[in-house]
Amino acid sequence: MRKHNRIASLLFAGLLVLTGCATTSQPASSATKVAPPSVAQAEKVPANLKPFYAQKVSWSGCGNRIYCTKVTVPADWSKPTAGSLKLAVAYRAADNAKPLGSIIFNPGGPGASGYDWILQSVDYLGTANLRAHYNMVGFDPRGVGHSQPTVKCLDAAGTDHLLYDDNGLPLGSPADIAETSKTMKAFALACAKNTGPAMAHIDTVSAAKDIDVIRAVMGSSKLNYLGFSYGTQLGETYAALFPTKIQHMVLDGVIDPTVPDWQQSVVQLKGFDQALRNYLANCLSSSDCPFTGTVDQAMDRIRLFMKSLEQTSLPTKSGRKLTVWGANTGLIMPLYSNSYWPQLSQAFTEAFHGDGSTFLALADTYNDRNANGTYADNLMEANIAISCLDGRQAGDATSMAKQNARMLAASPTLGRYWQFGALTCANWPYPVVSHPSDYSAKSSPDILVIGTTGDPATPYEQAVSVANHVLAHGHLVTWHGEGHTAYGRSNSCVANTVDNYFISGAIPASDPNC
C-alpha cells in the first residue's frame, strides 16, 4: 500500500528535472592525465577536526578528465572523534590549463547523486564556458548513493508496493489512515534496521558541514557553490554556518528555509496546480489536445478521472495496473518541465481510452524504476530519511485536519492526494535536528538567487523572498519561463549572468529579467 499523498510533500519537493537531460553513457575507461587538485587547504579548526580538514585523499581516474575519491567526515559532528563516514566525491577537471578553482554542486533531492552526475552527465552541468574555467565537483551527501551510510529500507517489491499500490480503503477514512500509519511506521523501522544508527546523522546541517571539508580537500580557501532545488537549502545552510568562507554561490530553484514545513507544502501544491493550468492552457490552444472547453472544465475532468481511479485501476501494456497513486506521480512528473507536456497529453489521451501505460511510464521515470523492476538509486528512501530529520509537520488529528483543509483549498484537483502528509515522518525513529536560527548570512559576499516564474516545485515567490528578505546579500535573477530551475535549461541571459558571476565576479545591477 502506498498513498502518494502521505509522502508527496517530501518527495515532490526536490526532484531536479535537469535529470531529464541526463545521458546514461558510461564514463571512459581511462582518464585524460590532468593533475588532481592541490593538497588539502590548511585550516584553523579545532584539534578534533584537523584530521578531517587536513586529510590526504587518493584520486583515481574514473572517466575522461574525471577523478574519484572518498572523503572522510565525522559521523556525528557533535562528537567528531566518535566515528567517521566516507563520502563519494568526483570532479571533472577544467578544460583550461590554469582553472579558476573548483565549483561544488548539488543537483537536488534530497537524495540525488552529484557523484553519478559528474560520471555520467557532466556535459549537461552548466555551460561549456563554466566547465572550461572550473573543476566541477559532485558528491553524494551522507545517506545518498555511494556515500555512507547508504539509506536502505525496502527491496524492489516492497518499494513497488509503497509507491504504486492502493489498499482499497476509502481515501481519508479512519481505516485508511490507520493502515497508512501502520505502513509508514514499518517503513521507518525498516530504514533504521537496514541502514544502521548513522541514519540519525544524515541531516542537512551535517551535510553542509561535510561540504566545508570537501572544499578544504579540494585545496580551496573559499567555497564556490552551485545548488539546484534542495541544493539551495543545502547552500543556504552552508551560508548560515560559514558565511565568510564563501567566494561565489548560486542558488537555482530556491527553497525558502524560513517557511515552516506545513506552509511549504501548501506553497508547492499551489505551484503544481498553476503548472497544471499552464499546461492545459497550452494544450487547449492546439488541435490535438485530449481536452476541450476551458481550463477550469479541463481541471474538472482531471479531478473526475483521478476519482475514478480510486475505484478502478487501468490496465497497461506491461501488465501492471495504474492506480490513482501511480497516476498522481505520472501527472506531477511532466509538470517539472514543459518539454514533457507532449508526453502528458499522450498519457491523458491513452488513459481516456482505458490505457494507463504512459502515465505509468512517467511515474517510473520519476521514481527511477527500471524496466526490470529494480530501482536505479536510493533517492526516494534518502529523500524521506533526510527530510524527516530536517523537519516534520504536526501529526495529531486536529493539525492534520487543518492542513488537509489548506491543501484542498490550494488545489481542489490535486490537493485530495496531498493530504495526511504528516504521517510520513510521524513514527520516524530519530528526532528532528536543530537548524540555524538565522539564514541571513550577513558576512557573506553577494549570492545569486535564480527563480523561474513557472516553477512548480520551488515556486518563484520563494526566490523573491530569499533574495530580497532572507539573505543579507542576495541578488534575484528571474527567468520568465516554465519548469523547475533555470541555469543550463533556459536561455543565454541566465547562462551569461551565472557564468559572468563565477568567472569575473560580476553582479547584475538589477534583476536582468531573463
Q: Given 3-state DSSP classes, what are the helix, strand and coil percentages for the chain, each rounded to the nearest 5?
A: 45, 15, 40
pLDDT of amino acid 6:
41
Q: What is the mean pLDDT of residues 388-393?
A: 94
Q: What is the chain's mean pLDDT, rounded?
A: 91
The residues facing 17 across adjacent strands are: none
Q: Is residue 332 scored above 90 in pLDDT?
A: yes
What confidence category does residue 10 fall into, taking pLDDT thresholds of 50, 70 and 90?
very low
Q: Measured between alpha carbons, how far is 419 from 433 in angstroms, rounded to an integer?
A: 24
Among residues 338, 14, 383, which one has the least CA distance to residue 163? 383
Contacts 24+ apart (CB under 8 A), 74-77: 74/49, 75/198, 75/201, 76/200, 76/201, 77/201, 77/205, 77/206, 77/209
Q: Which domains does the chain have, with CATH numbers?
A: 43-149+205-258+442-504 (3.40.50.1820)
35: pLDDT confidence band, cut at 50, 70 and 90?
low
Report the C-alpha gap between 193 and 195 in whole angstroms: 6
Q: Reduce the DSSP state of residue 462 to 3 states and report it.
A: helix
**Do residues 513 and 484 lie in contact, with contact meaning Cβ atoms separated by under 8 Å?**
no
Q: pLDDT tens, 71-128?
A: 999 999 999 999 999 999 999 999 999 999 999 999 999 999 999 999 999 999 999 9
Strand partners, 105: 138, 226
Residue 43 is predicted with a pLDDT of 82
CA distances from 97 to 100, 101, 122, 135, 296 (A): 10, 11, 19, 11, 57
* Residue found by looking up cell 528512501 in the block: 381
C-alpha cell at position 296: 477550469
Handedness of CA 162, 164, 170, 172 (dihedral sign): positive
Run of H or E residues at 247:
strand 246-252
pLDDT digits (tens, 9 = 90+) for 434-472: 999 999 999 999 999 999 999 999 999 999 999 999 999
pTM assigned to the model:
0.94
